């Protein structure tokens, strides 16, 4: 064994091989001495061939039929084709949120953030639900078919094929104490200005009444539209008769003889969704537990989840900025440390909004529970929402601490420039001074800022009617300089220092001795 240790792996392998060969030889020798007769040998060979043939047949039969492969995969539930659907208890949620729309809309082709009723659902794999504090959100307990769609990496609910409401009450606990036991209520979404950013959640009788009123007005609109079309037909006939008379007689009719066309009825501008039943949840910030209590008092299986109710961590002022040269692409800037960098003389238009900063992860998970990877790694980031616009304020421009400009909120109009070239100009909307603007409406309202002077530094801030600075509204603005090659030249400073030091040390090396030495 001592020698084996010294020989290494190859030596050991060789030894093992020799050992096997020796053993085999010994066995063979043994068999040779006891060897079978010729008949016995023939019988053994025949048996061996028969067994080999049988094994080959079995092997061939075990090879799977390629045409059955896809079925086999499906049978095993592998998600290369149809995903596996599973009936699950889910919470569906709808909350008024500042989010990107899930589908593209004509009114929002670039999918920009906007206020909307955003919905999501929490499948079984989601153990925490997120809701905003002190705002009513709609939560429902349902059973549906859930499957994971790997291409978009999200869970999908097969609402259309299977959707069953889970009866019971929603129990909310905090620190083991029940803080609410909710019944389902009637709710509806109502948009007083039409589908867009001004939605309202209505509950209870108000929801029903608003919807009924809306429906009545829609019905009345349809009725008046029918009446309009009938009246229009009658008017058309009347006008045809009058025109025929004029052609026959050659006599024009007096204006008062010509009937006015019927007025087309205006459709209701508002919009109301059909009321439904769900739980309306409105809680202060904190960590809760939710579960559905069935009619018999038991907890509905798989209904217990953690509920994280969060509130804004910061407040501030968000700037929606439209540079004059690309006014159709406004940008939102929330961070107080944001600075506007300008090249030369630039004009831009600012629309300020009150803004709130939330934890990025919590806010985005609120409407994306069905997307497991959404917002991962963002727990330390801030998500800003644009709230109400700041209207009754003035924008101050400061330089070296002194106010050099004060700007009011003004309407502006974007006018196409005349001629063949494409272009536009933004002008103050003042029909009294510009007759071309008669009958038009302003394109947008904003605060106009013009800054100039290469290398200049400014500050922008909003003050209210009393002259107080609105917190969070301070921003920096700088006009950049063109550094040219100096930007690269400064990088040589460490090299210059190094060359000086290196040269000094090198000169020491080259110093000659003052007295010859007598050493080895």
Q: What does the binding site for other proteins look like in residue numbers (CB under 8 A)?
A: 78-80, 150-153, 321, 323, 325-326, 331, 333, 335, 337-344, 346, 348, 380-382, 454-457, 476, 478-483, 486-488, 490-495, 497-499, 501-502, 505, 508-509, 511, 513-515, 517-520
Query: By C-beta, is 175 or 337 nearer to other proteins?
Result: 337
Q: State the minimum distance, in angstroms, from the CB of residue 302 to other proteins.
A: 24
Q: Which is nearer to other proteins, 66 or 503 (CB)?
A: 503
Q: Between 342 and 446, name the residue whose CB sits nearer to other proteins.
A: 342
Give the nearest distance from C-beta 373 to other proteins in angstroms.
8
| CA distances for 282 relative to 136, 206, 279, angstroms | 4, 18, 10
53/492 with CB nearer other proteins: 492
Q: Minimal distance in Å, beta carbon 319 to other proteins? A: 9
Query: Which CB atom, from 428 or from 498, has the smaller least distance to other proteins?
Result: 498
Tokens of 308: 């994280």
Whose tokens are 């082709």? That residue is 109
Name beta bridge partners: 105.
108
Smallest gap from Cβ 196 to other proteins, in A, equals 27
- Report, in Å, the least distance between residue 287 CB and other proteins: 17
Nearest distance from residue 358's CB to other proteins, in Å? 13
Cα 403 off chain centre by: 40
CB 279 within 8 A of CB 95: no
CA nearest 270: which of 194, 188, 189, 190? Answer: 194
Q: Which two tokens stand for residue 486?
A: 């100096």
Distance of CA 199 to the CA centre of its chain: 19
Query: Residue 110 or residue 509: which is nearer to other proteins going by CB?
Result: 509
Q: How far is the CB of 320 from other proteins (least distance, A)?
A: 12
Cα 46 to chain centroid distance, Å, stands at: 74
Report the nearest approach of other proteins to the CB of residue 454 (Å).
8
> Of the two residues 83 and 101, which places its CB atom closer to other proteins in the complex?
83
**Closest CB 113 distance from other proteins, rounded Å:** 16
Instruction: Indicate the residue among 254 and 511 with the shorter CB distance to other proteins.
Output: 511
Nearest approach, Cβ of 491 to other proteins (angstroms)?
A: 4
Taking every pair of C-alpha atoms in the chain, what is the biggest distance, in angstroms? Answer: 143
Helix (H, G, I), strand (E, B) or coil at 342: strand
Contact assessment for residue 348 and residue 449, using Cβ atoms and an 8 Å cutoff: yes
Instruction: Considering the complex, state which of residue 125 and residue 238 has its C-beta at the smaller distance from other proteins.
Output: 125
CA torsion sign, 399 to 402 to 407 to 408?
positive
What is the 8-class DSSP label of residue 267?
P
| Nearer Cβ to other proteins (76/247) | 76
SS3 content of the chain, % helix, strand, coil (to 5): 30, 35, 35
Query: What one-character-per-residue DSSP string does 77-121 give?
Result: T-TTSSPPPEEEEEEEEEEEEEE--SS-BTTBTT---EEEEEEEE
Helix ranges (H only) for 367-492 are 486-489
The CA distance from 165 to 143, in Å, is 6
Closest approach of Cβ 324 to other proteins, in Å? Answer: 9
Residue 130 CA from chain centroid, whole number: 15
Q: Alpha carbon of 31 to those of 28, 144, 228: distances in Å? A: 5, 72, 112
Nearer to other proteins, 96 or 412 (CB): 412
Residue with tokens 């659902």: 121
CB of 408 to other proteins, least distance (A): 22
Q: Which is nearer to other proteins, 78 or 82 (CB)?
A: 78
d(CA 424, CA 412): 12
Residue 233 vs 379, nearer CB to other proteins: 379
Torsion of CA 474, 480, 485, 488, to 10 degrees: 10
Beta strands in 108-264 (DSSP E): 114-122, 128-132, 137-149, 154-157, 163-165, 169-174, 177-182, 185-191, 200-203
What whole-number distance in Å separates Cα of residue 492 and Cα of residue 362?
Answer: 46
Least distance in Å: CB of 53 to other proteins?
38
Give the position of tokens 């409401």. Answer: 165
């Amino acid at each position: 064994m001592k020698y084996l240790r010294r020989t290494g792996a190859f030596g050991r392998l060789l030894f093992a091989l020799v050992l096997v060969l020796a053993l085999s030889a010994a066995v063979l020798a043994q068999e040779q001495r006891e060897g079978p007769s010729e008949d016995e040998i023939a019988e053994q060979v025949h048996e061996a061939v028969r067994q080999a043939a049988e094994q080959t047949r079995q092997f061939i039969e075990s090879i799977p039929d390629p045409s059955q492969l896809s079925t086999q995969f499906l049978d095993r539930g592998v998600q290369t084709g149809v995903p596996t659907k599973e009936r699950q208890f889910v919470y569906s949620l709808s909350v008024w949120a500042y989010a990107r729309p899930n589908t593209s809309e004509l009114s929002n082709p670039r999918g920009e953030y906007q206020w909307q009723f955003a919905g999501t659902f929490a499948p079984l794999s989601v153990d925490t639900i997120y809701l905003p504090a002190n705002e009513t959100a709609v939560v429902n307990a349902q059973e549906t078919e859930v499957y994971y769609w790997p291409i978009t990496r999200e869970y999908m609910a097969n609402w259309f094929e299977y959707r069953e409401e889970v009866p019971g009450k929603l129990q909310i606990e905090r620190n083991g104490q029940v803080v609410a036991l909710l019944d389902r209520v009637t709710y509806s979404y109502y948009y007083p200005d039409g589908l867009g950013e001004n939605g309202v959640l209505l509950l209870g009788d108000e929801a029903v009444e608003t919807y009924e009123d809306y429906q009545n007005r829609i019905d009345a609109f349809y009725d008046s539209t029918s009446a309009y079309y009938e009246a229009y037909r009658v008017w058309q006939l009347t006008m045809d008769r009058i025109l025929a008379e004029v052609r026959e007689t050659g006599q024009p009719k007096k204006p008062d003889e010509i009937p006015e066309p019927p007025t087309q009825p205006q459709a209701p501008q508002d919009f109301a969704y059909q009321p439904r039943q769900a739980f309306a949840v409105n809680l202060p910030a904190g960590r809760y537990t939710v579960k559905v209590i069935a009619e018999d008092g038991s907890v509905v299986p798989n209904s217990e989840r953690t509920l994280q109710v969060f509130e804004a961590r910061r407040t501030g002022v968000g700037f929606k900025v439209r540079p004059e040269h690309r006014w159709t692409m406004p940008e939102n800037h929330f961070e107080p440390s944001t600075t506007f960098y300008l090249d030369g003389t630039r004009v831009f238009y600012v629309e300020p909004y009150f803004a709130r900063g939330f934890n990025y992860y919590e806010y985005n998970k609120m409407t994306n529970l069905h997307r497991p990877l959404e917002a991962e790694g963002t727990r330390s980031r801030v998500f800003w929402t644009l709230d109400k616009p700041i209207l009754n304020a003035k924008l101050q421009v400061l330089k070296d601490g002194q106010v050099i400009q004060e700007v009011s909120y003004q309407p502006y109009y974007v006018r196409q420039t005349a001629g063949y070239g494409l272009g536009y100009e933004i002008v103050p909307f003042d029909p009294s001074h510009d007759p071309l603007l008669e009958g038009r409406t302003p394109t947008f309202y904003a605060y106009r800022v013009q800054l100039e002077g290469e290398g200049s530094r400014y500050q922008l801030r909003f003050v209210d009617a009393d002259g107080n600075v609105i917190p969070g509204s301070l921003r920096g603005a700088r006009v950049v300089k063109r550094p040219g090659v100096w930007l690269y030249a400064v990088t040589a400073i460490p090299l210059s220092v190094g060359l000086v030091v290196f040269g000094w040390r090198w000169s020491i090396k080259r110093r000659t001795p003052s007295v010859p030495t007598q050493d080895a």
